[in-house]
Amino acid sequence: MNNEKIDKLLLLNKKNRKVLIDSLRKTGISDKILDIIDKIPREYFISQDLYDEAYIDKPLPIGNRQTISQPYTVCFMTELLEIKENVKVLEIGTGSGYQALILKMLGAEVYTVERIEYLFNKSQTAFKDFNLEIFGFYKDGTTGLEEKAPFDRIIVTAAAPNIPEALIKQLKINGIMVIPVGEKDCQKMLKIKKIDNNNFKTSEHSTFRFVPLIGKYGWSSEN
């Protein structure tokens, strides 16, 4: 990536990052994903006063009442997506940009949507600093990205009250969507495979807690 700041951060907490990676490996996360986790310093996305917590397996604040997700959650959702080389992925909720960078480094073509201008701008800077081509959009993510559809994969990184109809329509046949669905304080992680335009195979995977998905096909507010 040839970025001095990123190179320095990679050396900063190298031992702690290895401890985290070893613990994630024990949960069944693949080495392919963990190798990428080892190349992206989590410190980059958080304030300096939180550096000591960068490799604790928990979410951390990134501003505007949003968080960078728990590392296990990021890895778990990535595993469910079944990323392959050159698949076209839509991410709803760019946030810090951490998840999008992982998807790109796995070989995906990544489109990501963020509704908060501050986070959108920060993520655009991150993509440039990591020297990776990721296509970012500032808009209501619950409506998807119709002009770039259809997508092989869709990942939603905020809690939805139900599965947004617009996103399902933008998913290719045999495509996969991963999305947390439920109440604001607790959600089930769903993996949805689109069999055809009327049939879907849905499986539930553990309970999580995400910030709410705000927008036309999500929650009306964060409260």
Give the pair of three-digit tokens for residue 168.
């399902």
Alpha-carbon distance of 205 to 191, in angstroms, equals: 8
Instruction: List active site positions.
Output: 69
Alpha-carbon distance of 23 to 200, in angstroms, equals: 34
